[in-house]
Amino acid sequence: MAVEPIMNTYNRLSVAFDHGEGAWLYDTDGNRYLDALTGIAVCGLGHAHPAVTHAIQQQAARLTHTSNLYTIPLQQQLAERLTAVSGMDSVFFANSGAESNEAAIKLARRYGHTRGIDSPTIIVMDNSFHGRTMATLSATGNRAVQAGFEPLVSGFVRAPFDDVAAVRQIAANNSNVVAILVEPIQGEGGVHIPAPDYLNQLREICDANEWLLMLDEVQTGNGRTGEYFCYQHNNILPDVVTTAKGLGNGMPIGACLARGIAAEILIPGTHGSTYGGNPICCAAALAVVDTIEKEGLCQRAAELGERIAEGFRQQLVGAAYIKEVRNKGLMIAIELAETGAELAVLAKVKGVLLNVTGGGKVIRLLPPLILTDADADLLVNTVASLIKIYAADEGVDNT
Ligand SMILES: Cc1ncc(COP(=O)(O)O)c(C=O)c1O
């Protein structure tokens, strides 16, 4: 059998999109789909947002790339906006979430060495996801992501997610720890939302031990959870925060932001990226940050999240096939009692794009922050009725 020209790294659904507008995608046959996945939390402003399109077009006509060997004014402007919105002091620009986390991991290791720790170790969580590069897959708490790629990168110890006592126990026994790397909400792992004071407690432990609190906000950042960054619900500041996905609304850009001592660890020659923070990606990201602020999209994400989650609760909670409906802003999960991986395909047939994660049991919805109320209601009604029909066909009903 002939080898396909694209390496077989994805199981793809049989649909190709031609264009998009707002929350809707149009396939090559002219069918339209309500996009409740947004390229996995990327197109928070929807498709072809005029401000982002304009920024990309204008910048493409002027200058797409120079080099980090020169000053890049748009990168400086974006860094100023991001540090202001995050409370951080400085930014390293990368091209993806994994690369932003690589920067954070390198930063933590170098921080450890400056403290005289020869084998700096980072606490990471079970069930986490931090990316597909060697260091980030080693940090990831999912054997399926790691299997076949051993030897893994060393220097990580693992704790269960949302378990402060486990982290305290590591603190008491491991003097090599220099940092904690954690998602404020586990996305790929199945939209797991920890106890409301989890991050506050981790902050306290980090302070007591001189560890860096490093938050992976690749998925939760850029307004998705109802604040620009998810940690802002907790009124704390991390030492390092990484983001990507929604930052460029589809243009490949990531950022590793740092504060205080952590902001001074990486110096010339210690890290870099040819494309990181190039003018065209920065122009797009500046338009994203501006639009989120001008259009009050953090607040809107919080409202929409409540509307959608409440809609699902009303229609689904109590049914035997539903374990839980949970959300923080527009990170929404419907956890099924049994696996239902086929629901992504069935939803596509009904004109809704969503994703099933968490071992096939969690329907994950990551709709755009610009969704209208009418489209939010359409999403709830379509997905809820699909789940009911699916459960009845599978013989899992309430009787
Ligand atoms: C929390 C988190 N970190 C890191 C990544 C990796 O990002 P990327 O695919 O841009 O490398 C993802 C992607 O899903 C993510 O959800």
**DSSP-assigned states of every residue in 134-196:** HHHHHHSS-HHHHTTSPSPP--EEEE-TT-HHHHHHHHHH-TTEEEEEE-SSBTTTT-B---T
Instruction: Say if 3 falls within a structural domain.
Output: no
CATH number of domain containing 134: 3.40.640.10
- For 291, the token pair is 């639009």
Q: Where are the beta strands (DSSP E) in the chain?
A: 17-21, 24-27, 32-35, 90-94, 121-125, 156-159, 177-182, 212-216, 240-243, 254-258, 322-328, 331-336, 352-353, 355-357, 362-365
- Inter-residue contact 247 to 91 (CB < 8 Å): no
Q: Whole-angstrom Cα distance, residue 20 to residue 199? A: 37
Ligand 1, pocket-test mutation among 42, 129, 138, most atoms within 8 A of CB: 129
Pairing of strands 90-94, 121-125: unpaired
Tell me how long the chain is: 399
Instruction: Say if 59 falls within a structural domain.
Output: yes
Residues 152, 257, single domain; the answer is yes
Q: pLDDT tens for the chain, 399 residues: list them.
A: 689 999 999 999 999 999 999 999 999 999 999 999 999 999 999 999 999 999 999 999 999 999 999 999 999 999 999 999 999 999 999 999 999 999 999 999 999 999 999 999 999 999 999 999 999 999 999 999 999 999 999 999 999 999 999 999 999 999 999 999 999 999 999 999 999 999 999 999 999 999 999 999 999 999 999 999 999 999 999 999 999 999 999 999 999 999 999 999 999 999 999 999 999 999 999 999 999 999 999 999 999 999 999 999 999 988 999 999 999 999 999 999 999 999 999 999 999 999 999 889 999 999 999 999 999 999 999 999 999 999 888 776 554
Nearest CA to ligand 1 atom 16: 219
Q: Whole-angstrom Cα distance, residue 17 to residue 353? A: 12
Domain residues for 287?
Answer: 50-294
Q: Which residues line ligand 1 (CB under 6 A)?
A: 40, 96-98, 101, 129-131, 183, 187-188, 216, 218-219, 244
Per-position DSSP letters for 197-215, written without gaps between them: THHHHHHHHHHHHT-EEEE
Residues 316, 335, single domain; the answer is yes
Spell out a b/e string for 197-226, using b for 16 or more CB atoms within 10 Å of the CB, else e: ebbebbbebbeebebbbbbbbbbbbbbbbb
Q: Whole-angstrom Cα distance, residue 2 to residue 330? A: 42
Judge residue 271's burial from the number of C-beta atoms within 10 Å of its C-beta, 0-12 exposed, 13-18 middle, 19 or more buried: middle
Residues 226, 361, single domain; the answer is no
Going from the Cα of 243 to the center of ligand 1, the distance in angstroms, rounded, reads 9
- Inter-residue contact 277 to 99 (CB < 8 Å): no
Query: What pLDDT is attached to residue 398?
Result: 52
- For 139, the token pair is 């940090």
Going from the Cα of 154 to the center of ligand 1, the distance in angstroms, rounded, reads 20
Ligand 1, pocket-test mutation among 188, 225, 275, most atoms within 8 A of CB: 188
Domain boundary at 273, 294, 315, which?
294
Domain boundary at 294, 311, 336, which?
294
Three-state SS at 264:
helix
Going from the Cα of 326 to the center of ligand 1, the distance in angstroms, rounded, reads 21
Residues 93, 238, single domain; the answer is yes
Spell out a b/e string for 330-348, using b for 16 or more CB atoms within 10 Å of the CB, else e: bbbbbbbeeebeebbebbb
Task: Indicate which atom in ligand 1 lies nearest the CA of residue 99.
Answer: 11
Task: Indicate which atom in ligand 1 lies nearest the CA of residue 244.
Answer: 10
Domain boundary at 294, 326, 354, which?
294
Residues 55, 164, single domain; the answer is yes
CATH number of domain containing 371: 3.90.1150.10
Query: What pLDDT is attached to residue 186?
Result: 98
Rg of the chain's alpha carbons, rounded to an integer?
21
The model carries a pTM of 0.97
- For 387, the token pair is 């789940």
What single-letter amino acid sits at 118? D
Instruction: Say if 248 falls within a structural domain.
Output: yes
Query: What pLDDT is attached to residue 2?
Result: 83
Residues 209, 83, single domain; the answer is yes
Q: Quickly count: other Cβ atoms within 10 Å of residue 364's Cβ.
A: 23
Residues 30, 97, single domain; the answer is no
Task: Indicate which atom in ligand 1 lies nearest the CA of residue 242.
Answer: 3
